[in-house]
Amino acid sequence: MKIVISGFEGSGRTSLFSACIGKSSEQAKKQSVGVVSVPDERLNKLSALFNPKKTTFTTVDFVDSLPLNVHGKSDKIALLDALRNADAIVFVISAFKYSDADEVLAETNRLRLEILINDLDMAVKRGERLEREIKVSKDKRDKQKEFDLIKKIQPVLEEEKFLYSIEFDKEESLILNNFALLSRKPCVYALNYSESLPSGELMELERKLREKLALVSDPSPIISLNASIEADIAAMEPEERGEFLAEYGIKECGKDKLIKAVYERLNYITFFTVGEDECRSWKIPSGSSAVDAAGAIHSDLARGFIRAEVISSEDLLRVKTMQEAKKEGLLRLEGKTYQVRDGDIVHIMFNI
Ligand SMILES: Nc1nc2c(ncn2[C@@H]2O[C@H](COP(=O)(O)OP(=O)(O)O)[C@@H](O)[C@H]2O)c(=O)[nH]1
Ligand SMILES: [Mg+2]
């Protein structure tokens, strides 16, 4: 899963990237991608039960991207490439620069406009080309469908709404997948606030931003963090970090908030595999079946899927052993179509 950190120059993208990958800003400047473990207290506890040789957390990739308003053709291409490959985009808003909430809202608006203009430009050009092609082609059906879709999305973009705010059927989605439209990407807004901002004002700022986004049907989560302080803390020894986070009154670090918000926005859940060799967390989209879960582990497991043994991590952590779980009837046998739940421990039985 690629989380691309976007925003304008000087908004704190690299500071946030540094905080997320747990390296100093100096080090973070030398790289643009960082692989980060997704923390999960449940996996820590399961690991304490099984005492495995290895504990493996599922990971996400953070990408520090070029500023949204880059000039120059090659930079623009690199920027668009990064954004198109994103599973989620985080827009960093430099709230620390302003004393007035309206300026924060204005920067958010400018961010959104960059995305909207890209999509609108693409829709208009495509529409014009299709119009020409329809006039001269014999089999117009597919082109007409595409053209109708363009006519459906254009007014949405003109109303300054991101395309994820409207529904598309399967066929439309397939066509749109060829368009590389940025406003279909799930996003999260990260308010990069100043350490001197009183918490009451921060809440008020979040409220105003939420209100503003609601006007354009934008349901994206908003998180607040102080990127430069968190980048400084990330540069410290891991043992020291907790103390400094507490000193600044930071209950949850930006990285954890961000990952949570992205999971929520993408509707991802976590399941586990456990054993004496390895305890491990995995991510899948909510609504995934037992076969999908098997496929996330290895394609062979999906191909040869027979059944899944499932128990919730909550149950196992309560009764402590698999024997006890079996005795209490907490371990269930599930078939291919079983819908995996967040926190399930899954053991796939397969035959190939
Ligand atoms: N006071 C303050 N300064 C910040 C904050 N976040 C970033 N900065 C500063 O703003 C400048 C630009 O930050 P940087 O992360 O490099 O932004 P980028 O251009 O988006 O990558 C740096 O000097 C940071 O120290 C913040 O939350 N508060
Ligand atoms: Mg930077």
Q: What is the pLDDT of residues 254-263, one digit of tens each?
A: 999 999 999 9
Residue 183 backbone dihedrals phi, psi, to 5 degrees: -80, 5
- Going by alpha carbons, the residue nearest to atom 19 of ligand 1 is 10
Closest approach atom of ligand 1 to CA 192 = 27
- Going by alpha carbons, the residue nearest to atom 14 of ligand 1 is 12
Separate counts of helices (H) and strands (E) for the chain: 15, 12
Separation of CA 25 and ligand 2 centre (Å): 9
- Going by alpha carbons, the residue nearest to atom 5 of ligand 1 is 228
Separation of CA 15 and ligand 2 centre (Å): 7
pLDDT of the residue at 231: 94
Separation of CA 176 and ligand 2 centre (Å): 31
Which band of pLDDT confidence, cut at 50, 70 and 90, is reported for residue 265? very high
- Strands 33-37 and 88-93, sheet pairing: unpaired
Total Cβ atoms within 10 A of residue 70: 18
Closest approach atom of ligand 1 to CA 64 = 21
Q: What is the mean pLDDT of residues 85-98?
A: 97
| Structural domain spans, the chain | 2-264, 287-350
Tabulate helix, strand, coil % of the chain (nearest 5).
Answer: 50, 20, 30
User: In a mutational test of the pocket of ligand 1, which residue from 18, 29, 228, 248 has the highest number of ligand atoms less than 8 Å from its CB?
Assistant: 228
pLDDT of the residue at 198: 87
Q: Say if residue 330's pLDDT is above 90.
A: yes
Which band of pLDDT confidence, cut at 50, 70 and 90, is reported for residue 76? very high
- What predicted TM-score, i.e. pTM, was given to this entire model? 0.94
- Nearest residue to 110 via CA among 50, 189, 220: 189
Give the ligand at the shortest distance from the Cα of 196.
Answer: 1
For 34-71, the pLDDT digits (tens) are: 999 999 999 999 999 999 999 999 999 999 999 999 99
- Going by alpha carbons, the residue nearest to atom 4 of ligand 1 is 228
Residue 39 backbone dihedrals phi, psi, to 5 degrees: -65, 145
Dist CA 189 CA 238 (whole Å): 27
**CATH class label, 2-264:** alpha beta
Q: For the chain, what is the mean pLDDT?
A: 95
SS3 158: helix
Give the ligand at the shortest distance from the Cα of 30.
Answer: 2
- Nearest residue to 103 via CA among 226, 17, 11: 11
- Looking at per-residue pLDDT, the higher value among 89 and 196 belongs to 89
Separation of CA 69 and ligand 1 centre (Å): 17
Residue-wise burial string across 90-99, b where 16 or more C-beta atoms lie within 10 A, e elsewhere: bbbbbbbebe
Dist CA 62 CA 38 (whole Å): 11
Which band of pLDDT confidence, cut at 50, 70 and 90, is reported for residue 193? very high
Query: Which residues partner with 272 through β-bridges?
Result: 281, 345
Q: Apex CA 205: angle with CA 204 and CA 210, to 5°? A: 100
Residue 290 near residue 338, CB atoms below 8 Å: yes
- Going by alpha carbons, the residue nearest to atom 26 of ligand 1 is 228
For 9-28, the pLDDT digits (tens) are: 999 999 999 999 999 999 99
Q: Say if residue 248's pLDDT is above 90.
A: no
Separation of CA 10 and ligand 1 centre (Å): 6
pLDDT of the residue at 138: 85
- Enter the CATH code of domain 287-350: 3.10.20.30
Residue 151 backbone dihedrals phi, psi, to 5 degrees: -70, -20
- Going by alpha carbons, the residue nearest to atom 3 of ligand 1 is 228
Separation of CA 94 and ligand 2 centre (Å): 13
- Strands 2-7 and 59-64, sheet pairing: parallel
Q: What is the mean pLDDT of residues 157-178?
A: 92
- Going by alpha carbons, the residue nearest to atom 7 of ligand 1 is 12
Separation of CA 23 and ligand 2 centre (Å): 14
Dist CA 316 CA 311 (whole Å): 7
Dist CA 111 CA 330 (whole Å): 49
pLDDT of the residue at 137: 86
Q: Say if residue 249's pLDDT is above 90.
A: no
pLDDT above 70 coverage of the chain, percent: 100
pLDDT of the residue at 180: 83
Residue 5 near residue 63, CB atoms below 8 Å: yes
Separation of CA 58 and ligand 1 centre (Å): 29
pLDDT above 90 coverage of the chain, percent: 88
pLDDT of the residue at 350: 95
Whether 2-264 and 287-350 share one fold: the answer is no
Give the ligand at the shortest distance from the Cα of 232.
Answer: 1
Q: Which residues line ligand 1 (CB under 6 A)?
A: 7, 9-15, 96, 192, 194, 226-228
